[in-house]
Structure 1
């Protein structure tokens, strides 16, 4: 079965076969060892197994590394010993110094995410994951070795950010390329689950060490951060390479074996055959000119400008939903009802965030990406409108502040309402926009562009992460709770953008998702989209035909 030229993105000619063969000579010895009955005798694929769970846990540690590093710094800047050693005059952090220490991680992640794509394409997903874990460890060593230099802390966070940025691209990428399609969304979304767990874990450890009056108060938490990349390096050694990367490098047998093990079926099972068939057809289409696509084709390739810009927009909107605003400003809100310990506040918000992400893994696979993101965006819009309105018009501060500059609020009813809608917002975010955006961005690109396009999209996330973390103190000091109206508008805009531009990818193979975008399926109709008749017929042929010839081209009989 030959894919129509519109799905290829380039015009094909009668000489394509020779060009494909020249471009990918390794395909000549690949076979589909499937008989008409071989697939039927094995039954359904076992998509949830010890292997898939192990892969989920080990690879998702990339999210735990990021979450733990993010959560620990918010506690450090409030610890007496950390303030004594690194704050201005040892008494209080200026907005600039605090913003630099906190925000340089995001600058590092920006660089790491952009660099991750080309490195992963050249050396493979596994080796790249190991490399970025080592880079992160070096960044932690730089930080933990300092005594009083806040610049060394900042530089260490910058280096650690390189590692976090690389892992933020590779973790969803590896899961999307290796996980069974039936649970792919949940496995990619587990990256966000582990981020929230890392944040919550860091909050808890900071709460236990903040009373220590020595450098151990922050060094203990920082030292525990060595454990996660070390475990990830050891675990990834026992996992296979991404099957789609292996195929592109000519390792067809290894690719087939990995897919079979992922689904928990024999190598001649129809599920394996169909997936390998789709990978081969897409690869043939990409290599029709016999040359590797240059990097700028992430904007000029078939419907790639649309998808690359969509990924960049979705990742930016994930930050512009305002989740980080709540984690930054939550302490002041909770003060209004007498809960003044910032570490307890952080633990409450972090616990809600972590716990609510679990249902998100169910939502992504049972309600679809589009419905979840649209519903979540509208819910967050309502929460922010109420939060901002009550904070601006009902919660009046006293005329004075304490020595630390903390404003005390006295209207406990208004404060309670704001806390309730803060928690509802976090629940909505953690179940929808938090995890599902990572899944979408890992699914919408074809194999040849996936690494670079994901790098650009993830870089957008980190740019806005830095901007929000750095400028929030300045903005809040000027407009206070009215800042929430900006985030409310972004939440509403996010729901509209998903409705108009995002195709439903639930339960579909990555190659089918690519076909939807290339053939310009209207997003609002994508949930009911059925692949073209010739593709369906080709799948049936794959299940029933004896494949004892070579794989240079799969043609309909």
Structure 2
């Protein structure tokens, strides 16, 4: 818990670690505008999500390609080739294993190289994995290792991209821009569905071009992101922490469409300064402080559960195994069915972005219910989780905590991708009841443990957690509603060299 100490200039007690909202309690988003550069930043960075969706969605189609099965499958007595649960699970599951490794190291890379360069390096690393995959001949484990290497890139991007977006985006559209990461995941899945369908139909399905061309297109997305991100500004919060205050101020103003001496810019610079000063007053951050820091155990667990929940809704079951499942039901073209699911996913995710910005505080039957499940996911847990988790943590702990939360996502991604065939071979599609039960539990968890963060700065969100704002009533919190015994405000002078001081009186 934060501790109280005497403020020499005011003769008052101050609660360390708590930076309150501005004295007029007006949201920082009030003066901000939706600018082209802010939207462009969110879109370019989100190509990292597109890469994730593309490499995740293509594998389902590969398993139904004749040449892919002949090269990497197992010969049966009738002369056909198929994949055992263990081999199919390993090929599918080594991607999220690589992602866990990438997520684990992403925080250190982002803090040492900066957010932009970390994104660029991570994106270009995926090219190594793609080369390993498309050069595979008959060794299935080589292809699997290629997915492992590619996964390291995808995992690192899944941490650094939302971090960069949340630290850079104006509060007025931060939730939407961070959630475009999920939208681009769905676009990547849809694109891979279309490409695998096109290559399967228009190329000789007994030739390797059907899967090699699909794989090789991944070079394009990696180059677009790896090069394009370098033309965008660095995260203003990272720039400030690196001692580049004027750069941070100019970036905040440019992205929000206001002047550098606008009150909203001064407010954000003040809040960043206060938080940084508090961090410097303490010892160097250790990894275990993600659990022992002020109110950090709570937030770390919330992030881990939310990211696990995104997988435990069961959506990726369809994306990894959809073509295989639909083929087993006797449908004439399982590739088309997979495209239908991918299209539903994209359309509903777009609707999900509107929800974020405007909240008020077997056969045909299988297709229908699958679409409903994907629709529900795409509107809610798909885009929302990335936005909420990116806003959960103060700058001091953001990199390690986001890495832990994202690793949780990839761990359950691996569990589902590897064990699904084993489970469905035993209990068939009663497997879906496991996901249904998880969904019920997640509804309860969100209601009682996740606060409303719309239109608030990252520093205000940190204050809400430190003051133990009730998640159930958090949408109504305006800065004046603090726990009994604590009353706080942040005072600052306008201008570039404004001072900052935060104090909390004990009643």
Q: TM-score, normalised by structure 1?
A: 0.81
Give the whole-Å Cα distance in 2 for the aligned partners of 1:333 and 1:92. Answer: 14
Shift of 1:537: 8.5
Shift of 1:72: 1.2
Note if 1:529 corresponds to 2:439: no
Give the whole-Å Cα distance in 2 for the aligned partners of 1:174 and 1:507. Answer: 17
| Alpha-carbon contact 2:63-2:324 (below 8 Å) kept | no
State the match for 1:315 in structure 2: 307
Three-state SS of the structure 2 residue aligned to 1:112 is: helix
In the TM superposition, 1:254-293 aligns within 5 A as 254-289=247-282, 291-293=283-285
| Alpha-carbon contact 1:302-1:518 (below 8 Å) kept | yes
Give the whole-Å Cα distance in 2 for the aligned partners of 1:268 and 1:119. Answer: 32
Give the whole-Å Cα distance in 2 for the aligned partners of 1:108 and 1:333. Answer: 25
Match of 2:62 among 70, 76, 81: 76
Match of 1:169 among 151, 156, 159: 159
Match of 1:445 among 384, 393, 398: 393
Match of 1:236 among 223, 229, 234: 229
State the match for 2:15 in structure 1: none
Three-state SS of the structure 2 residue aligned to 1:182 is: coil
State the match for 1:460 in structure 2: 408
Is the alpha carbon distance of 1:155 and 1:187 closer, same or farther for their aligned partners in structure 2, counting shifts above 3 Å? same
Note if 1:54 corresponds to 2:37: no
| Alpha-carbon contact 2:306-2:385 (below 8 Å) kept | yes
State the match for 2:49 in structure 1: 63
Give the whole-Å Cα distance in 2 for the aligned partners of 1:317 and 1:495. Answer: 10
Moved more, 487-496 or 118-127: 118-127
Give the whole-Å Cα distance in 2 for the aligned partners of 1:74 and 1:335. Answer: 11
Three-state SS of the structure 1 residue aligned to 2:172 is: helix
Note if 1:114 corresponds to 2:104: yes
| Alpha-carbon contact 2:56-2:319 (below 8 Å) kept | no
Shift of 1:58: 0.8
Three-state SS of the structure 1 residue aligned to 2:137 is: coil
In the TM superposition, 1:342-353 aligns within 5 A as 342-353=334-345
Q: TM-score, normalised by structure 2?
A: 0.88
Is the alpha carbon distance of 1:292 and 1:419 closer, same or farther for their aligned partners in structure 2, counting shifts above 3 Å? same
Three-state SS of the structure 2 residue aligned to 1:209 is: helix
Is the alpha carbon distance of 1:134 and 1:546 closer, same or farther for their aligned partners in structure 2, counting shifts above 3 Å? closer
State the match for 2:18 in structure 1: none
Shift of 1:547: 4.4
State the match for 1:384 in structure 2: none
Is the alpha carbon distance of 1:330 and 1:104 closer, same or farther for their aligned partners in structure 2, counting shifts above 3 Å? closer
Deviation track 1:53-103 (CA, whole Å, cap 9, x = no partner) reads 211221000000110011111111111111111112371111111111111
Is the alpha carbon distance of 1:105 and 1:333 closer, same or farther for their aligned partners in structure 2, counting shifts above 3 Å? closer
Shift of 1:329: 5.6
Shift of 1:549: 5.6
State the match for 1:478 in structure 2: 426
Give the whole-Å Cα distance in 1 for the aligned partners of 2:69 and 2:185. Answer: 26
Note if 1:153 corresponds to 2:136: no
State the match for 1:405 in structure 2: none
State the match for 1:192 in structure 2: 182
In the TM superposition, 1:505-544 aligns within 5 A as 505-532=453-480, 542=492
Moved more, 317-326 or 356-365: 317-326
Name stretches of at least 5 consecutive residues in structure 1 with no aligned partner.
1-5, 18-42, 372-408, 410-414
Shift of 1:330: 4.5
Deviation track 1:336-375 (CA, whole Å, cap 9, x = no partner) reads 986331211111111111111101111012117xx7xxxx
Deviation track 1:363-390 (CA, whole Å, cap 9, x = no partner) reads 012117xx7xxxxxxxxxxxxxxxxxxx
Is the alpha carbon distance of 1:505 and 1:552 closer, same or farther for their aligned partners in structure 2, counting shifts above 3 Å? closer
Give the whole-Å Cα distance in 1 for the aligned partners of 2:328 and 2:165. Answer: 43
Aligned residues: 476
| Alpha-carbon contact 1:333-1:419 (below 8 Å) kept | no
Is the alpha carbon distance of 1:442 and 1:546 closer, same or farther for their aligned partners in structure 2, counting shifts above 3 Å? closer
State the match for 1:208 in structure 2: 198
Is the alpha carbon distance of 1:72 and 1:533 closer, same or farther for their aligned partners in structure 2, counting shifts above 3 Å? closer
State the match for 1:504 in structure 2: 452
| Alpha-carbon contact 2:57-2:320 (below 8 Å) kept | no
Give the whole-Å Cα distance in 2 for the aligned partners of 1:549 and 1:88. Answer: 69
Is the alpha carbon distance of 1:509 and 1:549 closer, same or farther for their aligned partners in structure 2, counting shifts above 3 Å? closer
Shift of 1:416: 4.0
Name stretches of at least 5 consecutive residues in structure 2 with no aligned partner.
11-28
| Alpha-carbon contact 2:270-2:498 (below 8 Å) kept | no
State the match for 1:297 in structure 2: 289
State the match for 2:20 in structure 1: none
Give the whole-Å Cα distance in 2 for the aligned partners of 1:271 and 1:112. Answer: 35
